[in-house]
Amino acid sequence: MRLPTVSDVQKQMLGYAFALFFMKGLSLIMLPITTRFLTPAQIGELELLAVTASFIGILLSASLHEALYRYCAEQTTKKQKHTTASNLFTLTLLISISFACIGLLVTLSLEWRETWVLSRHAVLVLWVSLTIEGAIAISLAWLRMLDKVKAFCRICITTSLLQVALVLTSLQLGYGVVGVLVAGFIAHLVQFSLLILASKLTVTPPSTQFINTTLRYSLPLMLSGLVAFGLNGAERWLMLEGESLTMVGQYAVAAKFALAMCVLVQPFGMWWMPKRFVVANSNPLKAARTTELGIMYVCLLALFIALFGHWLLAFALTEDYAIAGQLLVGALLMVLGKELAELVNLGLLQNKQTKTILKVNLCTTVLTLIWCGFTYHWGIWSIMLSIGAAQLMRALILYKLSQRQHALPFRSLRLGLYPLITLAGLSVIQLGSSIQGIASLVCSVLLLIATYTIVLPQHTLAKKIGA
């Protein structure tokens, strides 16, 4: 396989960045509008619905997009790769539709109480939407593997603009939360249709052996994702118990700005994730340096968003959402460790040690949720700091275990300094004045760049292979 040139990489990442801006970045641009139509409590309800959909979506998709990356990389011909992708596409559809139908029947049969924070109509729309989410993920991943950046961009831009138009229309007509959900489903249905045409994936029933092989690989990752949800989603329900639906709405606004970091990281991830196994086999040094660069990129983004996001929140939103700006650094801390863990677990995935990832996520999540279960009444900051610390600890454990399974020539000292510099910068930005925040940002950025470029003591393995 020919490795992409620097020019190819830049073009691909730019294309993915452009598409992701329309997929997720527009939600940030829409935030000043939606917050003028919806109260913090309604935003809180939307957030609870979104995280619940994410939890169920992980279950229904069975993480089969990860199997797509892994098993298509082993195929040698285009026909074999296409057959594998079509099998996974079909399997995902079958699982999603089956379980979503069960969810619809259960929701319709329940006696819905007015005191419940979620409405029955909203939950019904959620179940219908989940029937195609897994297949959309497979199709998008397949386009990325084929490097069809233009098709990816066209589809994402078209459907995102359609969703914006539908959401604005539903809000103007006063349909509220349910209207926003229906608008999202219609846009995703159009996206699903366009993806089928672009990817040329077909409904190809997989064999029993194929199902057993792929699920054996992906189910531990699915369970790992479900467990990790406890540190990246379930906290909303804890906040509801410890605070109120309105506070959940305030946190949701801050979390959307923190999500900007994840959105800006994804162009790198969407280029790197499908190719990392091939590169790790053929050029371990390149794989290590690419991962290090990705980690530094994540840290830089966290610092920039912490400072400028606070100003944007104060400028763009009404006074009803003033608390959201105070929660931004905490929300960033919670996703920082998550993004780092996604980059440093390459060794475990390379050796197909998905069960190990599951065990790490399970232990980390259970211990953290137990702790939060006893301390959630201390307030929202207690939950954010606890989960942020747990995410960073999880990233460290996964890094250590990955190096044992498939050692890559990382420069370990640098990897340790990146998050430490970032945490120091975030602390000053949160506690200091605007001038201190700017000074902290400049110093942190300079330290990160210096740490990456200046010669430091190398990892022992790196010395052996001439790093």
Helix, strand, coil shares of the chain as percentages rounded to 5? 85, 0, 15
C-alpha closest to that of 218 among 133, 154, 315, 134: 134
In this prediction, residue 1 carries a pLDDT of: 43
pLDDT at 10: 60
Hey, how many other C-beta atoms are within 10 angstroms of the C-beta on 319?
7
Q: Dump strand ranges (E) for 29-118.
A: none
pLDDT at 190 (0 to 100):
93
What is the model's pLDDT at position 465? Answer: 37
Please give the pLDDT value at position 189: 92
Q: What is the 3-state secondary structure (H, E, C) of 147-207?
A: CCHHHHHHHHHHHHHHHHHHHHHHHHCCCHHHHHHHHHHHHHHHHHHHHHHHHCCCCCCCC
Reported pTM: 0.70
Residue 464: per-residue pLDDT: 40
Domain boundaries, the chain: 1-206, 219-467
**Average pLDDT per 10 consecutive residues for the chain, totaling 467 residues:** 51 69 72 83 85 82 76 74 84 87 88 77 88 86 80 86 90 87 91 88 82 80 74 78 80 83 77 75 81 85 83 77 83 89 82 78 87 85 90 90 82 82 83 71 75 57 39
- Evaluate whether 198 touches 143 at the Cβ level (below 8 Å): yes
Q: Contact, 206 vs 87, CB < 8 A?
A: yes
CA atoms within 13 A on the CB side of 164: 18
Find the largest Cα–Cα distance for the chain.
67
| Predicted pLDDT at 2 | 47
